[in-house]
């Protein structure tokens, strides 16, 4: 339907006022892009008033300002608790202008006062060295979404709405952004939004028709296809279209009235009666010209209503008098003298159009989520420990154990914790959580379904983008969560992670922004246990990607067993403003540490496992604390499978070369490997040397690409003696042990590496080396013959004795 | 509409035959998942006939086989040139089964013969160590799409159809995959498909209702929403639904007849009359049970038609007699004795249902694109050179120069080269290409549009996923292309790159697969020149991501100027089976090398720039070739901006510390930095030392994250003396020179680094160091005052004299 058809809803006075407010926002937007001085044009515009470099985006801005002005109206009228997500975040001047107009800007940045001097500073700082970014960045009050990389506006909006029943999240989706994959999938988020316990999302698809240089797809399909598309997505579209401001003001006011009436009706009709109760939420299609109210033509070419309005319509405003005159005419067309008083403050009748206090979109605490953050009520993770009487004797499924802890985290925090996963939560063995909650589901159900429900705390959709985006929106508005994902496919959100990391870095520099809960990843179904799905599912590179982000923001943990996973997970859920990546296996795997040992080990992040090493005495050690001096070789490991292979290799060495002093070092927190100058968790050189020695060979078995370990450690003295084994892109559909053999990470190869690198081991070692090479061949032969690993290898456990410490 | 309503199209005999063919494919699929031996069940099933580890996916397979059988029918009936893209690529057993049934498998892999012994091997090899992957991998004849990571089936299909007017690309989209962002956006590819010059895509949305553990969104919305969605996407949906094979066979036959009639009509009606001629292409919605024809219930739980059928419905077939009996009953339900003759060959009346020769989907040369690859007709890139009389004197916009070359590449290769870009081709200054072609556009047009047309060779859509996916599909079917992208946002396709790299690696191991054209990236609007868009647009990490892939597949080039960019681009367009990443700026930047010098430099990939260095003579060098012995310090650089800062730093050193011997080394091909043991382009230790010295300090100015250079070089002897400057995530909206200063990559800081690291430079150097620190402060102050860089810095050019070589 089209709002146009209805009778006017705004009186002439109301319309004039709302139009004036819009003009004020547009004026301030243009001023920010162009002016250094003379902010209210109280003298004729001169070249020195204009910025030498013009950086900013005009095209989307009048539309953003229009929506803002109208949302102010409905917020006041209905006393709405509403935040505004700006998909076209490059329309930064508009959002800054509005935050300024409603007084928030001056409250947050006192130098930008509500007078002529403040206006001058407001204009000057925009896109100016030492000033503010050109986008709706963390620096912009009221924003949780920069929108620099396009695609995530709507998914952030839904994330913000979950578990916020009183909140409305208005979300402008640009028609450029609407072409991206993540945005195209995001519309289906309405199948996961519960009208009873969640808030509402009010999407506004802004068809201004153009991207940087091209028309947009959705602006160039017939209206019936467009409306069908959104009906097909499960919405009731309301179209507003035009280029006459007065007419569009009326249409948009009617459209918002109608949309918010519908939202109210949907929420009043709740709770859902029956299973087919998913409502059709309203959405608005707003079709207005790009760069509306800006220069119609420049240098003879049409600008308003075309892609040429995207950035700076007039580019030679300092050097070309015609451009300068056009700029002045453009700015004066907003009649600033009617909008601002003598002191430069917004006139009171206009100021009265904005909501007040926390109802202002720029001051809504949901857009500064740390203000609302409440710690999780966490059970004692130690209560979920597996009993470990001796190291490497029994197995557990680490993620399943974690699932029992998460189950109780969910039960204790029904309003502020969600678990996201792309259809993999059960596959990742976190299914204990389903004992206390459902998977969120508002679409149709069938009698065969299990664990689906409108209030589910687990969110599953086959889109890593949606999982990540929902969680980001949820965290940014002050809640907590965990994203569990197959390790290989988390690369799908590499770029989203970049943007979130940048947001965390920038926002941590702003004293008025409060820290939010960390973004926690559990990467499982990892590279070493995707032997069944083959090469496409094998990629450990997300850690490398994360390690490129700023050290104050990123943390990476590789707990080797169930108890260490519990300890690490507890730590991550308590932390704030980080990106925590936890990599842990889901298959049955050996337990090494009791809970107490796990806590101590995780607190250090890296440590010597005395029980696994050998003191070189050639016989049993009576005192595990003794004889632990300088080893001949260090076997280091990070990750559950590398740890298994390392402990097994050390066991072979202990038994077969009893005179060799082997130290086993396990690394949980790989940021510990960096120097302390590079990362807050980094080791000092002294600490590093005390673990890894100053000059002994280090054979490091690592979960991922081996060079990451080199990149982290190259500043340490003993780096030259470091030899790393890891994943080198050798994988296919095969058995678990064949996977490690393909990449030379297996226990036999680690023993060979030791023999190759420790000098003077003699004939016995040479014989062992040959034996190891033979063992590899035999294992390979067994696998190819039987289609599974030799149980002697896959069922290996560590046994005390034969030179061991016990 | 629903096909069900129409009258039968298959005779009883036809129906019986097509059903038998389907049963044969299903039988072979189950056999692959389960059996080691007894392939035709000619003896009772025994535990030793069953694989010990069951790896494979049954759930999607019967649907894939059903579609395959029916496509065979229409291929024969209409003599279609058709390939099959399997979105649910984990249905590998089905596609392998069909390739086997139509004889291709035995042609490609002669050991897998068409008899009982071949069947035994076919079954055994599947998901077996030393055998074949569980997915529709490169090893599967007829595939260009593994489908391990979901989301790219449809975009690959469109990529394959472009410029292949005689080809039909059938594409099964799983309803799981349909939830992903890239797939949700891919439907709009029809706005870019020209019915005259491109082929057709025949999408089949397979709603089997479930993912691994959840129902799918599209299977749980009302039929009217579903049909509206696809009408909104611009398709005419035809629904086929049911769980009775005979009924579904009839429906599907009717649906395909109708769909291919429509495709024919659309293609006959071409050429388009008028601008609104975009046709509504048909698509099929196929709703059949997951795991159809498999076990209905297992251990009392419903399996067929639920998520429990996703992988292996019966999991204890070796140990649990009930499971084994159920497996046998299941397999016998396909009546293998009716399908295969005594020798184990498919019965002739069934074999006759498959097309023959290259019409077989498994043998269509388009699915082995290297067979069809024709080299590009390339103009001589040297003809596009910018004149360079002296180094660093004039500027050019490197990508604009490249645009003139690409313009003529496009003109000369109208049928096999496309340029992809997410709305950035003009922004990236490649607009000369628009002199000879349009941007592909089949949606509505307006009179203001420029350069849009149905036959455009440039493809612009605001989705990096679509650009990448279209190009992959285009390359995999034997054509060429280039993807130009903002550097920061190419991370959006990190995960797609992973999968393509894996495909290239695997396929290069298969002698029957022919090499395809390289996947070429031009990354521009790069980190150092996104000062206007701010932090969200600044990320050079794609290179790091690419460097993790197998060395035989990846190449990364950082040409420092316009002529080197031309040379590198020509090389990349000629290459095969690589992923080439080229990073180059679009802003005016200094030219360093004449075309001849550029060619020589790029051929080496790394070289000493004698003119930029200083010989330490304290006066003019009369002979540039002389006195170039061991330097005191090496200034190395990679990337246009680091090269600029390095050359400027060397210039300062040459003038101010004339006794210091400075060597400037520029790196174009960063894989050269690795040892030759690690990468085919790697330098030997001797070569490395001859460039970088054995023991002198190296100050390396690098385009991206500095640690990549450490990771590449750590095995070289002089690594300990290497100090790298690069991007360390310090960026915002500011000026270009402020960007380099924020990251300590500026010329002044590089001079300070030299002074800090070269011993014994004395008081003059100490003074210079202070001067450099002051210069940084002054530059910063200028920028903050004026809003632009000091022209003395931004306009710097290199002048001979004062100790220079000229």
Whether residues A148 and B537 touch (CB distance < 8 A) is answered with: yes
**Which distant-in-sequence residues (6+ apart) come within 8 Å of A12 by Cβ?**
none
Instruction: Give the residue, A402 or A720, on which the prediction is more confident.
Output: A402
Radius of gyration from C-alpha coordinates of chain B: 31
Instruction: Give the residue, A148 or A574, on which the prediction is more confident.
Output: A574
d(CA B497, CA B490): 10
CA angle A470, A473, A474 (to 5 degrees): 85
Instruction: Give the residue, A627 or A455, on which the prediction is more confident.
Output: A455
Phi, psi of B666 (to 5 degrees): -110, 135
Q: Does B198 lie at the interface with A, CB-CB under 8 angstroms? A: no
**Chain B residues 730-759 with a CB less than 8 Å from chain A:** 732-735, 738
pLDDT at B605: 97
Give the DSSP H or E segment for A564: helix A562-574
**Chain B residues 313-372 with a CB less than 8 Å from chain A:** none
In terms of DSSP bridges, do strands B281-287 and B297-298 run parallel, antiparallel, or are they unpaired? Answer: unpaired
pLDDT at B7: 67
**Which distant-in-sequence residues (6+ apart) come within 8 Å of B723 by Cβ?**
B697, B698, B699, B700, B753, B757
CB neighbourhood size of B693 (10 A): 20
Name chain A contacts of B426, Cβ cutoff 8 Å.
212-213
Q: Does B183 lie at the interface with A, CB-CB under 8 angstroms? A: yes
Q: pLDDT tens across A462-511, in order?
A: 999 999 999 999 999 999 999 999 999 999 999 999 999 999 999 999 99
Asked if A419 contacts A482 with a C-beta cutoff of 8 angstroms, the reply is yes
d(CA B741, CA B749): 8
Q: Does B794 lie at the interface with A, CB-CB under 8 angstroms? A: no
Task: Characterize B766-785 residue by residue with b for buried, 16 or more Cβ atoms within 10 angstroms of its Cβ, and e for exposed.
Answer: eebbeebeebbeebbebbee
DSSP letters of B307-323?
Answer: GGGSS-S---TTT-HHH
DSSP state of B474: H
Name chain B contacts of A460, Cβ cutoff 8 Å.
213-214
Q: Does A132 lie at the interface with B, CB-CB under 8 angstroms? A: yes
Asked if B511 contacts B402 with a C-beta cutoff of 8 angstroms, the reply is no
Which residue of chain A comes nearest to B55, CA vs CA? A532
Name chain A contacts of B434, Cβ cutoff 8 Å.
none
By the 10 Å C-beta count (0-12 exposed, 13-18 middle, 19+ buried), B394 is classed as middle
Q: Which of A230, A460, A489 sits opposite B495 (nearest CB)?
A: A489
pLDDT at A1: 46
Helix (H, G, I), strand (E, B) or coil at B494: helix
Whether residues B426 and A491 touch (CB distance < 8 A) is answered with: no
d(CA A221, CA A233): 16
Q: Which residues on neighbouring strands pair with residue A724, listed in sequence order?
A: A700
Q: Which of B305, B446, B494 sits opposite A494 (nearest CB)?
A: B494
Q: pLDDT tens across A315-358, in order?
A: 999 999 999 999 999 999 999 999 999 999 999 999 999 999 99
d(CA B670, CA B682): 9
Band of pLDDT at residue A803, cut at 50, 70 and 90: very low
Q: Which of A254, A259, A220, A253 is nearest to A236 (CA)?
A: A259
| pTM (predicted TM-score) | 0.97
Band of pLDDT at residue A43, cut at 50, 70 and 90: very high
Provide the shortest C-alpha distance from residue A529 to chain B (in Å).
13
Q: In the predicted model, is pLDDT for residue A802 greater than 60? A: no
Q: Does A505 lie at the interface with B, CB-CB under 8 angstroms? A: yes
Q: Which of B738, B615, B583, B608 is nearest to B666 (CA)?
A: B608
Which residue of chain A comes nearest to B439, CA vs CA? A214
Mean pLDDT by 10 residues, chain B (806 residues): 62 97 98 98 97 95 98 98 97 97 98 97 96 95 95 98 98 98 98 96 98 96 98 98 98 98 90 67 98 97 96 94 97 98 97 98 98 98 97 95 98 98 92 97 94 96 98 98 96 98 97 98 93 90 96 96 98 98 95 97 97 78 54 98 98 95 97 93 94 96 96 92 95 93 98 96 95 98 95 90 44
Q: Does B128 lie at the interface with A, CB-CB under 8 angstroms? A: yes
Q: In the predicted model, is pLDDT for residue A173 greater than 70? A: yes
Q: Which of B213, B498, B535 sits opposite A427 (nearest CB)?
A: B213
Whether residues B130 and A784 touch (CB distance < 8 A) is answered with: yes
Q: Can you state the angle between helices B61-78 and B92-101, rounded to 10 degrees?
A: 40
d(CA A72, CA A85): 14
> Is ipTM over 0.90?
yes
Helix (H, G, I), strand (E, B) or coil at A666: strand
Whether residues B181 and A185 touch (CB distance < 8 A) is answered with: yes
Give the DSSP H or E segment for A418: strand A417-421
d(CA B649, CA B392): 13
Query: Quick one: residue A535, left, alpha or beta (phi over 0 = left, psi -120 to 50 = alpha)?
Result: alpha
Extended strands (E) in B612-730: 614-615, 633-638, 661-667, 698-702, 722-725
Band of pLDDT at residue A410, cut at 50, 70 and 90: very high
Helix (H, G, I), strand (E, B) or coil at B158: helix
Q: Does B274 lie at the interface with A, CB-CB under 8 angstroms? A: no
Name chain A contacts of B156, Cβ cutoff 8 Å.
none
CA B618 to chain centre: 52
Helix (H, G, I), strand (E, B) or coil at B149: coil
Band of pLDDT at residue A617, cut at 50, 70 and 90: confident
Give the DSSP H or E segment for B524: strand B519-524
Q: Does A231 lie at the interface with B, CB-CB under 8 angstroms? A: yes
Interface test with A, best of B91, B179, B290 (most A CBs within 10 A): B179
**Chain B residues 522-561 with a CB less than 8 Å from chain A:** 532-537, 539, 541, 544-545, 548-550
Q: Does A460 lie at the interface with B, CB-CB under 8 angstroms? A: yes
Q: Can you state the angle between helices A464-476 and A494-508, rounded to 10 degrees?
A: 10
**What value does the mean pLDDT take over residues A701-706?**
97
Q: In the predicted model, is pLDDT for residue A804 greater than 80? A: no
Phi, psi of B372 (to 5 degrees): -100, -5
Query: Locate tokens 């299973």: which residue?
Result: A275
């Amino acid at each position: 339907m089209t709002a146009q058809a209805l009778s006017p809803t705004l009186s002439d006075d109301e319309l004039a006022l709302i139009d004036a407010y819009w003009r004020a926002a547009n004026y301030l937007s243009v001023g920010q892009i162009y002016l250094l001085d003379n902010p209210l044009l109280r003298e004729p515009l001169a070249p020195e008033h204009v910025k030498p470099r013009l950086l900013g985006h005009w095209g989307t801005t009048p539309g953003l300002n229009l929506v803002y002005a109208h949302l102010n109206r409905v917020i006041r009228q209905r006393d709405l608790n509403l935040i505004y997500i700006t998909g076209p975040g490059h329309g930064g001047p508009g959002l800054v202008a509005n935050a300024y107009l409603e007084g928030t800007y001056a409250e947050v940045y006192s130098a930008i006062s509500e007078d002529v001097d403040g206006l001058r500073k407001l204009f000057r700082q925009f896109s100016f060295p030492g000033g503010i970014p050109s986008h709706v960045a963390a620096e912009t009050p009221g924003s949780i979404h920069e929108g620099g990389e396009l695609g995530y506006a709507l998914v952030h909006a839904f994330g913000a709405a979950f578990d916020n029943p009183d909140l409305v999240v208005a979300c402008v989706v640009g028609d450029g952004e609407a072409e991206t994959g993540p945005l195209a999938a995001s519309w289906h988020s309405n199948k996961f939004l519960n009208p009873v316990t969640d808030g509402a999302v009010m999407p506004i698809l802004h068809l201004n028709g153009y991207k940087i240089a091209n028309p947009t797809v959705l602006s160039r399909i017939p209206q019936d296809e467009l409306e069908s598309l959104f009906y097909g997505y499960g919405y009731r579209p309301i179209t507003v279209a035009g280029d006459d401001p007065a007419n569009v003001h009326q249409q948009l006011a009617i459209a918002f009235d109608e949309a918010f009436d519908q939202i109210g009706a949907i929420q009043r009709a709740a709770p859902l009666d029956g299973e087919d109760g998913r409502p059709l939420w309203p959405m608005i299609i707003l079709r207005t010209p790009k760069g509306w109210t800006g220069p119609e033509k420049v240098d003879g070419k049409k600008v308003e209503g075309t892609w040429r309005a995207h950035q700076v319509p007039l580019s030679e405003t300092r050097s070309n008098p015609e451009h300068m005159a056009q700029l002045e005419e453009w700015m004066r067309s907003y009649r600033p003298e009617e909008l601002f008083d003598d002191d430069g403050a917004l006139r009171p009748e206009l100021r009265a159009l904005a909501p007040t206090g926390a109802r202002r979109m720029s001051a809504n605490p949901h857009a500064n989520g740390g203000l609302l953050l409440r710690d999780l009520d966490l059970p004692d993770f130690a209560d979920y420990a597996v009993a470990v009487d001796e190291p490497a004797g029994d197995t557990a499924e680490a993620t399943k154990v974690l699932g029992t802890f998460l189950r109780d985290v969910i039960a204790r925090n029904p309003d502020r914790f969600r678990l996201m996963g792309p259809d993999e939560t059960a596959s990742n063995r976190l299914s204990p959580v389903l004992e206390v909650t459902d998977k969120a589901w508002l679409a149709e159900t069938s009698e065969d379904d299990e664990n689906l429900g409108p209030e589910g705390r687990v969110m599953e959709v086959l889109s890593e983008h949606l999982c990540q985006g929902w969680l980001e929106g949820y965290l940014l508005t002050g809640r907590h969560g965990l994203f569990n994902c197959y390790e290989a496919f988390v690369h799908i959100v590499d770029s989203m992670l970049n943007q979130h990391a940048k947001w965390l870095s920038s926002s941590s520099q702003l004293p008025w922004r409060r820290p939010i809960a960390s973004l926690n990843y559990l990467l499982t179904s990892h590279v070493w246990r995707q032997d069944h799905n083959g090469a496409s599912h094998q990629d450990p590179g997300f850690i490398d990607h994360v390690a490129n982000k700023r050290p104050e923001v990123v943390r990476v943990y590789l707990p080797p067993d169930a108890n260490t996973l519990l300890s690490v997970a507890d730590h991550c859920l308590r932390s704030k403003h980080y990106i925590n990546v936890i990599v842990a296996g889901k298959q049955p795997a050996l337990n090494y540490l009791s809970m107490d040992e796990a806590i101590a080990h995780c607190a250090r992040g890296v440590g010597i496992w005395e029980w696994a090493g050998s003191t070189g005495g050639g016989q049993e050690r009576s005192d595990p604390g003794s004889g632990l001096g300088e080893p001949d070789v260090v076997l280091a490991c990070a990750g559950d499978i590398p740890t298994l292979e390392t402990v097994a290799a050390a066991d072979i060495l202990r038994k077969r070369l009893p005179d060799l002093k082997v130290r086993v070092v396990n690394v949980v927190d790989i940021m510990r490997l960096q120097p302390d100058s590079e990362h807050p968790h980094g080791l000092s050189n002294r600490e590093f040397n005390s673990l890894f020695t100053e000059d002994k060979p280090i054979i490091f078995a690592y979960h991922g690409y081996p060079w990451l370990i080199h990149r982290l450690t190259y500043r340490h003295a003993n780096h030259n003696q470091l030899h790393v084994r890891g994943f080198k892109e050798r994988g296919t559909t095969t058995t678990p042990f064949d996977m490690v053999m393909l990449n030379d990470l297996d226990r036999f190869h680690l023993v060979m590496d030791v023999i190759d690198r420790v000098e003077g081991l003699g004939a016995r070692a040479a014989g062992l080396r040959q034996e190891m090479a033979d063992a590899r061949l035999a294992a390979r032969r067994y696998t190819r013959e039987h289609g599974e690993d030799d149980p002697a290898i896959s069922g290996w456990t560590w046994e005390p004795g034969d030179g061991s410490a016990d």
